[in-house]
Amino acid sequence: MARNKFDIDEELDEEFNAATIRRLLTYILPHHKKVLFAVAMMLLSSAASLTGPYLVKIALDSAIPQKNVWRLAELSLIYLGFLILSGVCLRQRIKIMTEMGESVIYEIRKDVFETLQKLPFTYYDSRPHGKILIRVTNYVNSLGDLLANGIINLITDLFSLAVIVVFMLLIDVHLSLIALAWMPVLLGVVFLLKNKQRRAWQAVSRKQSNMNAYLHESISGVKVTQSFAREAENANIFRRLNLEYRQEWMPAVRIIFLIWPSIETISVASVLMIYVTGVTWFAGSVSLGTLIAFVGYVWRFWQPITSLGNFYNSLVVAAAYLERIFETIDEQPVVFDHPEAKPLPRIAGHVEFRDVSFGYEPGHPVLHRLNFAAQPGQTIAMVGSTGAGKTTIISLLSRFYNIEQGQVLIDGHDVQRVTLHSLRSQMGIMLQDSFLFSGTIMDNIRYGRLDATDEEVIAAAKAVHAHDFIETLAEQYATQVNERGVRLSVGQRQLISFARTMLADPRILILDEATSSIDTETEIKVQNGIARLLQGRTSFIIAHRLSTIRNADRIFYLEHGNILETGTHDELLNRKGAYYTMYAAQMM
């Protein structure tokens, strides 16, 4: 498949879809009690704060003209009480919605991660890991403000608008109509900008993804970068990607900044019109208190409008990221349990490939109608040039990919018809890349069998001669291993991976270049451990170092996805074919 590189934009240009927002709401529904309480707090806070202009009107039209000091003091205390109530309710709303927002983010991030755990190797083969990582972190985090503030503010702002309009109509109907006449102007501005804003933030999302992909790649390969003195060239590449991101970011921000200035301009124009008409057209019929109170409500009318504009901006930005997040969650695993799949019983280890064909890309087959059988307890070694199909065979046996044609059978069970967990839990797989996780050496060896005791872990390490070097470390088995095991040599990482595989006690053992990075002296010791591990297990060994597979029961020499030669070590040497040529070249 064509790999999406760091400098290739991911295409996702869907129209703004209300279904995306409704899907987000499904994550909020389990927290509906908190949301309802927060809404109640916000509505109470909003209602308390909206009484202010009306109290000012009473003071200006009644208490002050009548010089009623007690009435004025009473109104002041009521005003102060409402302000305190508003502040307390607002604090509770912020606390509750922040908790709810983080809970929703946790659930979304969990769903994305769980989906990623199920996706096949083809998904990871087809895109930079940095573009996957950004969806779990940056994109999900970008939803925080929308969840913690936006949705509740939307409800309370709509409520505030309704209450404010009621107060305005109660004070003066004619002035209210003049103030509301500016709303179509604002709606026209928003309508003109909405599509541009959506496309702008989708472009920002693409460039941010590209930049993160290259950043992840650069950090992973920093040793190679410094070894080849590529710092300056890599810096130029990152500068270009960073500049592309900035070039898309600036237009998107400009569009955002057109929303609230438009609201501010329209609000000022509406207040100016109120003053002009109040002084000219309605002179004598509108009291000073009425005019001041009405203008106060007009200013308050445009505040939730501004908040709604900000919410719309947040919604458009979040929608661009939600599209990416839900696209990942909706990614369908290609390798999954068949509806009629059954658990694979404890196996003896008979493996058979029947007319198996497979290719990673359509039209480019790697295996061609491959046929072979391995008896329980046999050790099968596979050799051949790079790209001959050796690793592909063990990947299909482990069902990391689906075969295109034919069958892979274990004890007569089609691997396509058994559950993945029951299949892989009976396999011990040591791949060529000895990957170690952050944690202790003990944790890494126990990774495939969490119920193993410390004594069993140590016994597995001793069997593969990893115990000796572990004992020389300052904290021994409690030694912390950094990401990918960078504190250990390549050979030490392979020995730990070997111990991890041995501890799992698999029925089928797969070793892909298992001793490629171990020195000759250690290899002799490890071979003794391998010999004990192979007993009673069907094993598949991929090796370029032919001296390590002399004792294999059968050796397959593969070329272009076909088994060119098969036999024991001695039989293949006597045949003087391709295996003999490879062996002779290595001995020389």
The pLDDT tens digits of the residues spanning 97-119 come to 777 777 888 888 888 888 887 77
Q: Rounded CA gap, 104 and 322, in Å?
A: 13
Give CA–CA dist 409/414, Å, rounded: 5
Q: Using a pLDDT cut of 90, give the percent of the chain over it.
A: 0
Rounded CA gap, 26 and 111, in Å? 13
Q: How many helices (H) does the chain have, and how many strands (E)?
A: 23, 12
**CB contact at 8 A, 441 and 470:** yes
pLDDT per position as a tens digit, 302-338: 677 776 666 766 676 677 677 777 877 877 777 777 8
- Is residue 3 over pLDDT 60? no
Does the pLDDT of residue 445 top 60, yes or no?
yes
The vertex-584 CA angle with 578 and 588, nearest 5°, equals: 150
Angle made by CA atoms 159, 160, 166, in degrees to the nearest 5: 95
Mean pLDDT over the full length of the chain: 76
Confidence of residue 364 (pLDDT cuts 50, 70, 90): confident
Which helix H or strand E contains 480, and what residues bound it?
Answer: strand 480-481
DSSP 418: B
Residue 174's φ and ψ, nearest 5 degrees, are: -65, -45
Rounded Cα distance between 182 and 186, Å, is 7
Is the pLDDT assigned to residue 400 strictly greater than 80? Answer: yes
In this prediction, residues 510-528 reach a mean pLDDT of 66
pLDDT of residue 252: 80
Q: Would you say residue 468 has pLDDT above 50?
A: yes
Closest alpha carbon to 50 in 143, 144, 159: 159
Question: Encoding tokens for residue 106?
Answer: 């946790």
3-state class percentages of the chain: helix first, strand second, coil last, to nearest 5:
65, 10, 25
Q: How far is CA 159 from CA 40, 84, 555, in A?
A: 11, 20, 77
* Residue 389 pLDDT > 60: yes
- Out of 97-111, 197-211, 342-356, the most confident range is 342-356
Cβ-contact 569, 552 below 8 angstroms: yes
Rounded to 5 degrees, what are φ and ψ at 450?
-70, -20
CB-based contact 502:464 (threshold 8 Å): yes
Asked whether 404 and 552 are in contact (CB, 8 A), the reply is no
- What residue ranges define each of the domains in the chain, with the CATH number in brackets? 18-329 (1.20.1560.10), 338-426+508-588 (3.40.50.300), 436-505 (3.40.50.300)
DSSP 8-state secondary structure symbol assigned to residue 223: H
Angle between helix axes 69-118 and 288-329 (nearest 10 degrees) is: 10
Q: Give the ranges where 473-534 is alpha helix by DSSP (H).
A: 490-503, 520-534
pLDDT: which is higher, 96 or 297: 96
Q: Residue 375 phi/psi, 5° resolution?
A: -80, 155
Question: Tell me, what DSSP letter sits at residue 433?
Answer: S
Q: For residues 371 and 354, is the Cβ–Cβ distance under 8 A?
A: yes
Between 238 and 39, the higher pLDDT residue: 238
Beta strand pairing status for 351-358 and 367-374? Answer: antiparallel
Q: Which two tokens stand for residue 536?
A: 């009673």
Taking residues 227-241, report their average pLDDT. 79
Cα distance between residue 534 and residue 484, in whole Å: 27
In this prediction, residues 342-364 reach a mean pLDDT of: 85
Nearest Cα to Cα of residue 538 among 420, 427, 432: 427
Helix (H) or strand (E) holding 63: none
Tell me the C-alpha distance between 140 and 146, whole Å: 11
pTM over 0.85: no
The pLDDT of 570-579, averaged and rounded, is 85
d(CA 108, CA 368): 42
Mean of pLDDT values over 273-282: 63
φ, ψ of residue 508 to 5 degrees: the values are -120, 130
One-letter identity of residue 473: L
- Residue 278: per-residue pLDDT: 58
Backbone region of residue 401 per phi and psi (left: phi > 0; alpha: psi in -120 to 50; beta: other values): beta
Query: Taking a C-beta distance cutoff of 8 angstroms, is the pair 458, 477 a contact?
Result: yes
Half-sphere exposure of 318 (CA within 13 A, CB side): 24
pLDDT at 1: 39
DSSP for 361-384 reads BTTB-SEEEEEEEE-TT-EEEEEE
Q: Give 475's pLDDT tier (boundaries 50, 70, 90).
A: confident
Query: Residue 38: pLDDT band by 50, 70, 90 thresholds?
Result: confident
Which residues of 223-366 form beta strands (DSSP E)? 351-358
For the residues 271-281, what does the mean pLDDT come to? 65
pLDDT band for 362, please (50, 70, 90 cuts).
confident
Cβ atoms of 41 and 97 closer than 8 Å: no
Per-residue confidence (pLDDT) for residue 520, from 0 to 100: 65
Highest mean pLDDT, choosing among 46-50, 129-133, 350-354, 428-432: 350-354
266 phi, psi to nearest 5 deg: -65, -40
Question: What is the pLDDT, as a whole number, of residue 519?
Answer: 62
Separation of alpha carbons 425 and 427, rounded Å: 6
- Residue 2 pLDDT level (bands cut at 50, 70, 90): very low
